[in-house]
Chains A and B, each alone.
Chain A
Amino acid sequence: MIELKNLTKRFDKVTAVDNMNLTINEGSVVGLVGSNGSGKSTLLRLLSGVYQPDGGEVLVGGKKLFDNPAAKGECYFIPDFPFFYNNSTINSTAFLYRNLYPNWSEAQFNRFCSVFPIKRDAKIINMSKGMQRQAALILALSTCPKYLFLDEIFDGLDPVVRHLLKKIIIEQVSEHNMTVIIASHNLRELEDLCDRICLMHRGKMLMERDIDSLRLCFRKVQVAFSEIPMMPNIFEGIDVVNVWQNGNVFNVTIRGTEEDFMPQLNALNPAYISAMPLTLEEIFISEMGAAGYDVNSIL
């Protein structure tokens, strides 16, 4: 289990992670989403023991991680730009990890080297961005981590490898109860993979919920009126996140299920009404808009 207790990290005058509290259970796949500079990468670096918290604490498997080699041996972090020396190959890097990571599996290493379409003796630095990520993934998965932290891992991967990666992660989670935290802007991929989503903005956790309940919680509703009701606020009493009007047609994002808002909407005698779940991207935009981070406020 991963526990964040009042976790704070500052860079000079900027608070990148602000008094954050979170508990992540074993075997879950958590997606970290948020605006640029919201603190996702910083949070991953705190989780992997690269950064030392300025306040609060991070407990991974009940252990403080910073400068704790034994605890770090169960974690692996792939940053957004993984580092490789000029002459590093997968084999040469594996040499380092073999003695450092207690759970290193030679069988897994050989398996993943054959699964991913990549040469293990080629210089990693000469590979494309996507292939470098694959190299990092092979090494990461070969350490058999209990906790895997991935930053923008889908960036640069082709659709086939993305699919392969998701499959492997799901396999590892189900077979080895691995906990995975993925920070990404690719919400479509997270939607497929994650069972939980954390939405961050300006160092704070805006929202944290199971992806299923998240989908159930929001509805995109289109309501058309032959004559718009003469009321100051026609959606009063409904938890509206966002409204967009085009003539007599309203596109409304509502927090809640059909049971919560349909009776009230039907009472307005709409000419047409339809409700459907939001995609993760739509939820993200809606929630960020509610937090004052939308296209209109930026422009």
Chain B
Amino acid sequence: MTSTVSFKEKLKQAYSVFKWDLKSCSGTMAVYAILAAVFTTIILTLCLVFGFYAQNSVMYDTYSYSQAISSLETAPDTNNAIAVAVKVFQIIASQMIYFLTIIFAIIYTVKVYSYLHNKRKADLYGSLPISRIMLFVSKSASAYLFTLIPAMFFLGIIFIVSMCFGQPIVNEALNIYVKLLMGTLASISAYGLISVCCGTTLNSVIMFIAVCIAYPLSAMFIKGVANGFFYGSYTGVFKNHFIMNALNPLAAYDGINIIYWLIFSAVCIVASAFLVKRRKAERAQASFAYYLPCHIVKVLVSFLVGMFLGVLFGSLNVLGNGYFGFVFGFILGSVPAFVIAHLIFYKGISKLIRTSIPLGGLVVVVVAVMAVCSYDVFGYNEFIPKADDVKSAGLIDSSNLYRESDSNLNKIVRNSAEDFTDKERINSIISSHSSIIADKDFTSYKKFQSVWYDMFVYNMNIGLNEMRFSFAYKMNNGSVITRTYPASVYDSFSTDTIDTSEIVNTKTYTEKYAAALNANQSDISSVTVKTNEMSGCMSDDTEKSKEDFGKVVEAFRKDFKADNSDISVVLAPAEDDVSLYSDYYGLSSYYEVKDFKYYQKEYPDAVCLLEVNTGENSYSNPSDLFTDIIGGSFSIYDSMPKKETYLIPKSYTNTISALKDIGVLNSDNTINEKSDYYKSLDVYY
């Protein structure tokens, strides 16, 4: 009874629909092309003009551009300001294309899927001799290609222009390709699914926006509650985790969690294809064709508004009790939000009562969960193990921890539980732990206040490490208990009053967590050897330098391993010796050691100081420059710059020998001022 259409015929049909949509979107594409061409030209013109001025020292007083010149001077592959200007053009123009493409992707997508939301269009497309799935897939492909092909074209032009000026394509600009490919795919797939479920374009757009905003904010609230109410819990693992943006397809434009977004897109496309085949054409211009997403969005929005008002009232101690304030605020926020969402989606109050069951469930669950959290039913917050119950323990001080940017801190902390087995050190760890929570105010409104802190300060990574002290205990029964405390301005303890030196200065700790002993050679940004503050020998970016100083680091590791002393040679300056330096952004801080002569008095056999820097801490590529131009204070670093300084004693013969081999030290162990690596260090600091 049914006839089939060959695959070739199907492709032909899909191509026809694509070209048909192309005609209907041609006006929008023309606007995109004009804007992209004009903006690209403007950016190129400005970059070249400023580059010319900078090269001729006309505009050195312009802050951002003076940074460009700094970049120029440090970058080995550039030799004039025009070169930097072209790189800046490449990055800014790519970013402009990136944002323009996102905006137009939304326009194309809304336009292409509107065939599901208009009765007259439904008549046209419904009667066409093309299967519903093929039509939907063709439409999706059209939206995807309309978005990407013009973007790729203009990005290609940007790269060609850059190459014409003799500049290579920078990674940041190339990454735009990946971001657009991924973001467009995820966004179009998600909007397609929402469109299939909705009866009108307005509902689809509102629902898409609601999901994109409500989901990540709700996730932030949940994470904030976890951090605020379970003091010592560690949720840093969720930073940049897909779960924080799982239903927000716009997050795919970040170009991270690619596997997740591919799966997400595939699921959306398959679900859309399944639903579109069964979708009733008469649902065009009705509120919804399928109601499940509507319920999800209504609950999400209610949760978000409820949490906002609840946490606000909780933190203001409304009703004299944080928890009761929260309950009052949550109900006051979530119920009206639910009703308003219903009125918008259903265009009236029909089915309001019937569809309110999820809201009731939400209120009950949230109120119950928050009661458990507020009253710390399980005694999580004030838990400190008894020394007798602990088999082994570990402590990690983030200011003395090297780890790769993609490493899992939680795993490192858990593994540290077996670091120390002697009772003395276990007691020391428990003592440090006790002093952290001793003065902590555990009243519920304080916990609500810390939720805001976590959401708006901690999540934005402004000027703070993600954690400061972590404790791990392996109990006699084999279970591992961990606590991680942030260096929060909101915490009662001061990082200066927690003395961890007894643990941190041990050889065990240094061997496991010091950068000089654990970092990959590629992550070591510089090595400096010095005997005074103002000058010394410092590695540079040449291959020879990397090889030379790599040998020094290897020799140091060998010496360190052979060193039998319990206390390591890492200089942990005493409080009165410390000078605190901050890098430019205030994103990190590090301790600067005193002059070498100061240490020579205490350690007469000291030969020199070996300083090892890891992580990126200089404007060596245009990406940093661009970050600076667009507002670097909000930029996020994956790994913190880290500096470790070691006192090299005479017993470290391998290290000293390596330093002599590369010509940094003279035969009498003094600094070789004629070495190629010798330079004044005051500029560096």
Contact = CB atoms under 8 A, between A and B. Distances in A.
A96 B115 CA distance: 15
A293 interface: no
Interface string B22-44: 01101100000000000000000
A142 to B, nearest CB: 14
B131 A69 contact: yes
B3 A99 contact: no
Given A64-B1, A70-B3, A85-B24, A99 B123 contact: no
Contacts of A11: 282
A101 B16 CA distance: 11
Contacts of B129: 69-73, 75, 100-102
Interface string B1-33: 111110000001101110110011011000000
By secondary structure, the B interface counts as: helix
Interface in B102-153: 118, 120-124, 126-132, 134
Contact of B13 (A51, A92, A99): A99
B589 to A, nearest CB: 60
Contacts of B130: 69, 72, 100
B146 to A, nearest CB: 15
B281 interface: yes
B674 interface: no
Contact of B16 (A68, A98, A102): A98
B597 interface: no
Interface stretch (A42-50, A174-182, A277-285): A42-50
A4 B506 CA distance: 88
Interface string B336-355: 00000000000000000000
Contacts of B128: 72, 100
A218 interface: no
Interface string A69-109: 11111011101011101111000100110111110000000
A159 interface: no
B120 A83 contact: yes
B625 to A, nearest CB: 44
Interface in B506-564: none
B27 A87 contact: yes
A59 interface: yes
B16 A67 contact: no
| Contact size range, B | 20 to 34
A95 B24 contact: no
A248 B55 CA distance: 113
Contacts of A163: none
A120 interface: no
Given A51-B281, A79-B123, A71 B16 contact: no
A81 B281 contact: no
Nearest to A83: B120
A95 B18 CA distance: 11
B423 interface: no
B295 to A, nearest CB: 19
B241 interface: no
Contact of B24 (A52, A77, A87): A87
A179 B1 CA distance: 20
Contacts of B277: 67
B16 A83 contact: no
B280 interface: yes
A83 B124 contact: yes
B124 A82 contact: yes
Given A63-B1, A87-B26, A96-B17, A50 B131 contact: no
Contacts of B1: 59, 62-64
A50 B122 contact: yes
A95 B127 contact: no
A50 B4 contact: no
A82 B20 contact: no
A83 B125 CA distance: 10
* Residue from the set B3, B280, B281 with the largest chain A CB neighbour count within 10 Å: B3
- Among B4, B26, B127, B280, find the residue whose CB has the most chain A CB atoms closer than 10 A: B127
Contact of A75 (B13, B15, B120, B127): B127
A50 B23 contact: no
User: Size range of the interface on A?
Assistant: 35 or more
A50 B13 contact: no
A149 to B, nearest CB: 8
A48 B127 contact: yes
A82 B128 CA distance: 13
B20 A83 contact: no
Contact of A67 (B23, B120, B132, B280): B132
B131 A45 contact: no
Contacts of B20: 92, 95-96
A100 B130 CA distance: 7
A70 B16 contact: no
Nearest to B115: A83
Nearest to A11: B282
Contacts of A100: 13, 16, 128-130
Contacts of A82: 120, 123-124
Contact of A50 (B3, B5, B127, B134): B127
A112 to B, nearest CB: 19
A185 B401 CA distance: 84
A92 B127 contact: no
B16 A49 contact: no
Contacts of A85: 23-24
Contacts of B131: 67, 69
Contact of B126 (A45, A63, A86): A45
B137 to A, nearest CB: 13
B127 A49 contact: yes
A99 B12 contact: yes
Contacts of B4: 70
Given A83-B118, A85-B24, A100-B130, A70 B5 contact: yes
A77 B127 contact: yes
A248 B20 CA distance: 68
A59 B3 CA distance: 12
Contacts of A45: 123, 126, 281
A103 B2 CA distance: 18
Contacts of A73: 129
B571 to A, nearest CB: 74
B483 to A, nearest CB: 57
16 contacts: A51-B281, A51-B282, A69-B129, A69-B131, A69-B134, A71-B2, A72-B129, A72-B130, A73-B129, A79-B123, A85-B24, A87-B24, A87-B27, A92-B20, A99-B15, A99-B16
Given A45-B281, A59-B1, 9 more contacts: A62-B1, A64-B1, A71-B2, A72-B128, A77-B123, A77-B127, A81-B120, A88-B24, A95-B23
Closest 5 CB pairs of A and B: A70-B3, A50-B126, A83-B120, A73-B129, A99-B16
